[in-house]
Amino acid sequence: MDTSKHPCFNKEAKGTYGRVHIPIAPKCNIQCNFCNRSYDCVNESRPGVTSKVLKPRNANEYVKRMREKMRNLSVVGVAGPGDAFANTEELFETLEYIKNEDGDMLLCLSSNGLNVVPHIDQLKAYNVSHVTITVNGIDPEIVQEIVGWIRYKKRVFRGIEGAKILIEQQMAAIKTLKEKGFVVKVNSILIPGKNDHHIPAIAEKVAELGADMINIIPFIPVKGAAFEDIQAPPAKMISDVTRAAHKFIPLMTHCSRCRSDAAGLLGKDLPFINDMLKEVSQMSFDDHERPYVAASSREGFMVNQHLGQADFLHIYKFEDGVYKLHELRKAPPAGAGDSRWKELAKLLHDVDTLLVEGLGGSPYKYLTASGVKIIEMTGMIEEGLDAVFKKAELHSLSKKEMATCGNCNGAKSGTGCG
């Protein structure tokens, strides 16, 4: 994987290529005792801080504007202010926009690793290439002192139990990410009296799992955090720990403790970030970004085909007061399982609504997650278009009505046609 243009993963790129962090993930699924996430502090430079939290469409606009301002912009990253995988809906909607706008950008993100494994294939599909996992301990006795609680599979865990789950998931994330071809950096916060003696063991373990480098970040006391009274590590401690860790894995030595809304060269953030974030965060977007309606039809007049049977989708637009067939868009081939529906969701990135006779649970999940609305119906395509573009009442049979019309087997099963 190419890191030549990634300033965080390649020191030689630090002064040449820029990065922009998009703050779209406010929620976090763990509580670290050194962390106090503040969203509106403009005078601190540390992870977990941003002046604004952006919605996905606003984040895409922010990236587009940054690209106009920074001709050397090479990386778009998601680094908080919470955790990307505690905000998966916002994460993947944002990645969808950015992938369509900036296909040549390197995409990266940072995470605590707790909820990464279930989403690794999705990251691959969106061309994310670089991932940072923060690991502050591999011994549950140590981790339970650093992490107050974790939220995993809708439950809150504390103490040794929570620490064990967190470590297990972090190790699995690093291992699986490397197996899937990602570049992986590990961040470790050096906290005096907590894990300063333990960092070399972390380095050795993550190196065994295939991590590409480690970034040892000296602790900074943060007001309001549980560890606010712990002092920052002295220079000799930092030197001794990094030297010991370097025996096992390459070190990142040019970290700038980037904020969640950082933009520019490392250590040289652009001066207009806060004003641009404020302006973009206040923008509202209408449905013109998704101007089309798709219909699953055998002949182009009726909505009369199950999505799984569709080789093509009819794509319509409303222009000059009339409906126009924009194109016939070829659907991904059958037989690929969920990959087919993931690919279809990408193909329909500009479609507001899909008119379809019926569809299964998997395509429904992937399409709606990507922003496509679903109308299950049978009848004239034009009537469906009226319902979308003119907000007219839909008189064609809905799926629920089909199940009770008495004219097909769906009436007996309650599942409807298709």
| Top-level class of domain 11-281 | alpha beta
pLDDT at 398 over 80: no
pTM surpassing 0.75? no
Nearest to 416 by CA among 375, 376, 387, 385: 376
Rounded to an integer, what is the distance from CA 314 to the centroid of its chain? 30
The tens digit of pLDDT for each residue in 136-183 reads: 999 999 999 999 999 999 899 999 999 999 999 999 999 999 999 999
Q: Which amino acid is at 10?
A: N
The tens digit of pLDDT for each residue in 308-344 reads: 999 999 999 988 788 999 999 999 998 878 899 999 9
pLDDT (average), residues 13-33 = 83
| Top-level class of domain 287-413 | alpha beta
Q: pLDDT class for 51, splitting at 50, 70, 90?
A: low
Helical packing angle, 273-281 and 56-69, nearest 10°? 140
pLDDT (average), residues 123-131 = 90
Domains 11-281 and 287-413 share a fold: no
The residue with greater pLDDT, 364 or 265, is 364
Specify the pairing of strand 268-269 against strand 213-218.
unpaired
Return the percentage of the chain with pLDDT > 70, whole number: 84
Domain-wise residue ranges, the chain: 11-281, 287-413
Res 407: pLDDT: 39
Q: pLDDT class for 287, splitting at 50, 70, 90?
A: very low
